[in-house]
């Protein structure tokens, strides 16, 4: 009988706290709904003490998403645990996830505590969490670099205080598979009372080993896997959920394990996350990259046409990836459009469908063939949840080959209209500077990419931007026939997010003497996150 592996998704916690991946409340709820459809067992919704926004997101997700367990992260102290419980209490199946570093490196340089002090803190924190919530997960942060004998003592303390799950993180992505597997075997055999406790993996990809180490942990006895969609996360990221799930599905012959992930929801989950964060997936990314199922070499194409099994171990349909065939044209109606969106994983409401249809017909007037990518661009661009503080009313751009470009803009805010123009070396930069002049929030570009949407020379340009405002990074994405206009709109989107975010996080949560406004600040206070 194969064993079930529980999927603990931390896209909204470890993923979301990494640079460039922050999401606002409606975006987090939308992602949580998709993770529910995908079939994750445990959904880590956030780190409630980190910011007011994180607290509200966990609370809202706990109230709405009822099937998966909802977890919230807390450091091993009273304030954090109480705040996590406050956010979780409406959940159908809540879990408090508390953590404390156990490696000598962290004890000496970060926590300035002795091993004995840490053991006491673990017992107290897990016991306190247990007095609030039946289900308590404990993570000895940096377990991968913790002295093995001491790690066993820490785990013992957590189990005796009532932990139901022990998660052994390779926080810094340092472990080799053999080390990681042996750590699970040691904890399983040397800690007393493990028959009532589940073991969990948490791996990072600093050496490209996250998924391989996850499998090693499973071989060592873990039955819970912590992972994220598209492998987003601190630094090089976490183990990618889609890769772990598909390995366990495709290689059932070699590993007697299974998950309850609905693989046909994988691609929609990946796309949604890309849309919400603006963080592109590399083309050759396993399972969800645009080229993951593209066969270019003639000999491969020939084989696949004869029988896909020659070169394909997974069909695109298994992961819900739409085929790149022409789907709709000028004469397609609302019904066909709604059906196609359904196939792509979007349940549009009536007003949303009307809006999508209007944009679709506009596009069909200019472009003969409408591909899935075009349809996705329509919903992705136009269905953003960012409140439009500044709306673009007029845009004009003049560029010349003598190194001077001018952009003139009209933005509307609260019914008032603002005009300004700026000159710069490039037309995009001129547009950004004109926006800065109106909003009064100067930004710097940290990433800028242009793609064409769909094949053909009549394709539209998709611009993705990541811009920093006041030390924080926000994403924007837009499509247009004009690259410069798409860039200006993307930048404005990022600026709107920044303006919204600074309004939203105005009320800071006080953590001891330290005032924490953003999870980014938490990362700085606790380097490495966990």
Provide the minimum distance between the beta carbon of 123 and Zn ion in the complex, in angstroms, as a whole number.
Answer: 23
Q: Please provide the distance, in angstroms rounded to a whole number, between the alpha carbons at the two ends of the chain.
A: 34
- Going 255 to 261 to 264 to 270, the CA torsion angle's sign is negative
10-69: which residues touch Zn ion (CB under 5 A)?
14
Neighbours of 332 (CB within 10 A): 17
Does position 170 interact with Zn ion (CB under 5 A)? The reply is no
Provide the minimum distance between the beta carbon of 362 and Zn ion in the complex, in angstroms, as a whole number.
Answer: 44
Which one, 53 or 144, has the nearer CB to Zn ion?
144
Provide the minimum distance between the beta carbon of 198 and Zn ion in the complex, in angstroms, as a whole number.
Answer: 18
CB 357 within 8 A of CB 335: no
Which one, 40 or 467, has the nearer CB to Zn ion?
40
Q: By Cβ distance, which residue is nearest to Zn ion?
A: 14
- Strands 416-424, 514-516: pairing kind: unpaired
CB 159 within 8 A of CB 193: yes
Distance between CA atoms of 43 and 40, rounded to whole angstroms? 7
Provide the minimum distance between the beta carbon of 72 and Zn ion in the complex, in angstroms, as a whole number.
Answer: 15
Which one, 14 or 372, has the nearer CB to Zn ion?
14
Which one, 14 or 205, has the nearer CB to Zn ion?
14
Which one, 14 or 243, has the nearer CB to Zn ion?
14
- Which of 56, 119, 69 is CA-nearest to residue 96? 69
Distance between CA atoms of 144 and 173, rounded to whole angstroms? 8
Can you name the residues that pair with 382 across neighbouring β-strands? none
# chain residues binding Zn ion, by CB under 5 A: 1
Which one, 234 or 501, has the nearer CB to Zn ion?
234
Q: What is the 3-state secondary structure (H, E, C) of 472-508?
A: EEEEEEEEECCHHHHHHHHHHHHHHHHHHHHHHCCCC
Distance between CA atoms of 232 and 69, rounded to whole angstroms? 21
Q: Classify residue 307 by burial, with Cβ atoms within 10 Å: 0-12, 13-18, 19+.
A: exposed
Provide the minimum distance between the beta carbon of 55 and Zn ion in the complex, in angstroms, as a whole number.
Answer: 20
Provide the minimum distance between the beta carbon of 141 and Zn ion in the complex, in angstroms, as a whole number.
Answer: 9
Provide the minimum distance between the beta carbon of 183 and Zn ion in the complex, in angstroms, as a whole number.
Answer: 16
The CA distances from residue 142 to 102, 105, 514, 529, in Å, are: 6, 9, 24, 10
Which one, 14 or 80, has the nearer CB to Zn ion?
14
3-state helix, strand, coil in the chain (%, to 5): 45, 20, 35
Which one, 15 or 476, has the nearer CB to Zn ion?
15
Provide the minimum distance between the beta carbon of 234 and Zn ion in the complex, in angstroms, as a whole number.
Answer: 5
Which one, 205 or 436, has the nearer CB to Zn ion?
205
Does position 137 interact with Zn ion (CB under 5 A)? The reply is no
Which one, 170 or 485, has the nearer CB to Zn ion?
170
Provide the minimum distance between the beta carbon of 145 and Zn ion in the complex, in angstroms, as a whole number.
Answer: 14
Does position 141 interact with Zn ion (CB under 5 A)? The reply is no
DSSP calls for 426-481: SHHHHHHHHHHHHHS--EEEEEEEEEEESSSTTPEEEEEEEEEETTEEEEEEEEES
Which one, 360 or 530, has the nearer CB to Zn ion?
530
Binding piece for Zn ion, criterion CB under 5 A, among 8-16, 104-112, 273-281, 453-461: 8-16
CB 511 within 8 A of CB 52: no
Residue 517 is given by DSSP the state: -
Which helix (H) or strand (E) segment holds residue 384: the answer is none
DSSP calls for 37-54: HHT-SEEEEE-TTT-HHH
Which one, 14 or 44, has the nearer CB to Zn ion?
14
Which one, 73 or 478, has the nearer CB to Zn ion?
73
Distance between CA atoms of 114 and 123, rounded to whole angstroms? 15
Binding piece for Zn ion, criterion CB under 5 A, among 7-15, 41-49, 309-317, 426-434: 7-15
Binding piece for Zn ion, criterion CB under 5 A, among 9-17, 81-89, 355-363, 411-419: 9-17
Distance between CA atoms of 132 and 139, rounded to whole angstroms? 18
Provide the minimum distance between the beta carbon of 10 and Zn ion in the complex, in angstroms, as a whole number.
Answer: 7
Provide the minimum distance between the beta carbon of 17 and Zn ion in the complex, in angstroms, as a whole number.
Answer: 9
Binding piece for Zn ion, criterion CB under 5 A, among 6-14, 305-313, 478-486, 492-500: 6-14
Does position 142 interact with Zn ion (CB under 5 A)? The reply is no
Provide the minimum distance between the beta carbon of 219 and Zn ion in the complex, in angstroms, as a whole number.
Answer: 21
Provide the minimum distance between the beta carbon of 13 and Zn ion in the complex, in angstroms, as a whole number.
Answer: 9
Q: Which segments within 52-127 are labelled E, that is strand?
A: 69-75, 94-101
Distance between CA atoms of 505 and 360, rounded to whole angstroms? 36
Residues contributing to the site for Zn ion (CB under 5 A): 14
């Amino acid at each position: 009988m194969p064993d079930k592996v529980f999927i603990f998704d931390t896209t909204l916690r470890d993923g979301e706290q990494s640079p460039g991946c922050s999401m606002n409340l409606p975006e987090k709820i939308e992602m949580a709904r998709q993770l529910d459809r995908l079939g994750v067992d445990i959904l880590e919704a956030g780190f409630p003490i980190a910011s007011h926004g994180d607290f509200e997101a966990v609370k809202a997700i706990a109230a709405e998403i009822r099937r998966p367990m909802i977890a919230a992260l807390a450091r091993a102290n009273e304030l954090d645990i109480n705040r996590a419980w406050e956010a979780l209490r409406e959940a159908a199946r809540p879990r408090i996830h508390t953590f404390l570093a156990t490696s000598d490196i962290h004890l000496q340089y970060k926590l300035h505590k002795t091993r004995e002090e840490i053991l006491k803190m673990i017992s107290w924190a897990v016991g306190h969490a247990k007095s609030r919530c039946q289900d308590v997960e404990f993570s000895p942060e940096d377990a991968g670099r913790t002295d093995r004998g001491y790690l066993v003592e820490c785990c013992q303390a957590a189990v005796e205080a009532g932990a139901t799950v022990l998660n052994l993180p390779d926080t810094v992505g340092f472990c080799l598979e053999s080390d990681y597997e042996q750590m699970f075997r040691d904890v399983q055999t040397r800690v007393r009372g493990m028959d009532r406790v589940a073991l969990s993996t948490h791996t990072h990809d600093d050496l490209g080993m996250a998924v391989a180490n996850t499998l090693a942990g499973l071989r060592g006895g873990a039955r819970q896997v912590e992972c994220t969609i598209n492998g987003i996360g601190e630094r090089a990221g976490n183990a990618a959920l889609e890769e772990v799930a598909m390995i366990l599905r495709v290689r059932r012959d070699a590993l007697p394990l299974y998950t309850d992930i609905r693989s046909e929801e994988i691609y929609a989950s990946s796309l949604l996350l890309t849309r919400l964060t603006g963080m592109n997936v590399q083309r050759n990314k396993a399972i969800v990259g645009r080229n993951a199922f593209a066969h270019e070499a003639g000999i491969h194409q020939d084989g696949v046409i004869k029988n896909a099994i020659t070169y394909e171990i997974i069909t695109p349909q298994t992961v819900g990836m739409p085929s790149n065939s022409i789907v709709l044209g000028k004469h397609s109606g609302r019904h066909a459009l709604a059906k196609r969106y359904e196939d792509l994983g979007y349940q549009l409401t009536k007003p949303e469908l009307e809006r999508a249809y209007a944009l679709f017909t506009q596009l069909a007037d200019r472009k003969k063939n409408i591909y899935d990518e075009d349809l996705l661009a329509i919903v992705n661009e136009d269905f953003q949840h960012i409140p439009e503080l500044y709306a673009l009313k007029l845009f004009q751009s003049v560029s010349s080959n003598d190194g001077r470009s001018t952009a003139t803009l009209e933005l509307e805010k609260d019914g008032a209209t603002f005009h300004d123009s700026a000159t710069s070396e490039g037309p995009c930069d001129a547009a950004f500077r004109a926006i800065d002049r109106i909003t009064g929030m100067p930004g710097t570009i940290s990433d800028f990419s242009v793609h064409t949407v769909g094949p053909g020379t009549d394709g539209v340009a998709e611009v993705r931007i990541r811009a920093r405002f006041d030390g924080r990074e926000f994403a924007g994405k837009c499509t247009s026939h004009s690259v410069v206009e798409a860039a200006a709109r993307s930048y404005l989107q990022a600026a709107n997010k920044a303006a919204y975010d600074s309004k939203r996080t105005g009320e800071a949560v006080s953590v001891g003497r330290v005032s924490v406004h953003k999870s980014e600040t938490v990362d700085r206070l606790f380097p490495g996150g966990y």
